[in-house]
Each structure stands twice: as C-alpha cells, then as structure tokens.
Structure 1
Amino acid sequence: MFPAFKVKFKGLDKASKYLIALDIIPVDSNRYKFHNSKWMIAGTGDPEMPKPINVHPESLATGEHWMTKGANFHKIKVTNNITDRHGYALHLASANNA
C-alpha cells in the first residue's frame, strides 16, 4: 500500500508482549459514492464477508520493541479481489465489484 501505513507507540509496558494487527472495518452498513467533491450515501452495502486480520510479522514483541521501532505495514496490499491469496492482502468490496 502506498503510502505505507506506519504507527508509532508510546505508553506501553516495556516488558509486556503485544500482538499488533491491522484490520479495516466499515463505519456503517451503507455504500458510498464520491459526487460533487463529497461522499454521499448510494444505498445499502453488501454484508461483510469474513476476512483474515493482518498480524504484523514482528508480533509478539515487547512494548519496548514497539515503542522503539514502531510498526510499518508497507507490505499490505488493498484489493477487492477475494480470490487474491497474497499474504498481506486487505480485502475490501468496491461499488464496481460488489
């Protein structure tokens, strides 16, 4: 995904271990379209299909590790192709493909 999704952490317990994951979820059950420079509701969206959550490859790591290095999800691929078996794919439905 470009630009890469990077996260910085603070306030974690240095000795505790944390699993870091990335998931994108809908804010509501609507479908949207971009019209006249703004997003507008364009009907009801399709039901959410089960999808894997993308766990950061350095998980489980200590709070000290995450606060020092942060997390970079540069390998994430956003796609609407549910047959894509890319190891770091985030599957999203698009209005044109749903």
Structure 2
Amino acid sequence: MTEDGDIRRKRLYMRSIRRGIKEMDLILAAFADSHLWAMEGADLDLYDRLLSESDQDLYQWVSGQAAPPDAYAALVARIAEGAAGVTRPS
C-alpha cells in the first residue's frame, strides 16, 4: 500500500515536532510549518531520510558545528536559515 501525499506530510510533520531534543523540535517544527506542505516527490523523500538521522548530528549540521553529508547540504542550509534564534543568537 502506498502512502497518500497528505498522510505522508502529516507523518513527517509529527516526526519533525516530536524529536529527542527540544532544540530539534523547535527547529524542525518551524521548517515543517513553512515548507513541508509545498514539498513534493524527491524533496519529501530527502526530508524523510534526513529525519532518520540522529538529533545530535542534525543539530551539529544545522548549527554549523559540523558539515552535513553532501546529499543533505542544501536541505540543511534551508533548515538553518530559520534556526538562527535556536542555534545561535539572532
């Protein structure tokens, strides 16, 4: 059975707002609120894979403490744009 687009987005949204650390809840919830409903196909696939990464790795990538894998670099940059107040003083 394939997953309907809206159901998939709702699942990804829940995975975005219910993370292991509060900072990632805030960062990914803001990103999902702004971008998730407009994402399609390959972008959703990539975001789904990104959400499978550990919160510690994600936070380091978004905050600029470590470089993300090339496959995630553009997506992490988009997420980091909206995370300034959480990852570092705005």
Query: Where on the TM-score scale, by shorter chain, does this alignment land: which range?
Result: under 0.3
Higher strand share: 1
Task: Identify, as 1 or 2, the structure richer in helix.
Answer: 2
Larger Rg: 1
Asked which structure has the greater RCO (Cα within 8 Å, sep 6+), the reply is 1
Q: TM-score normalized by structure 2? A: 0.27
TM-score by length of 1: 0.26
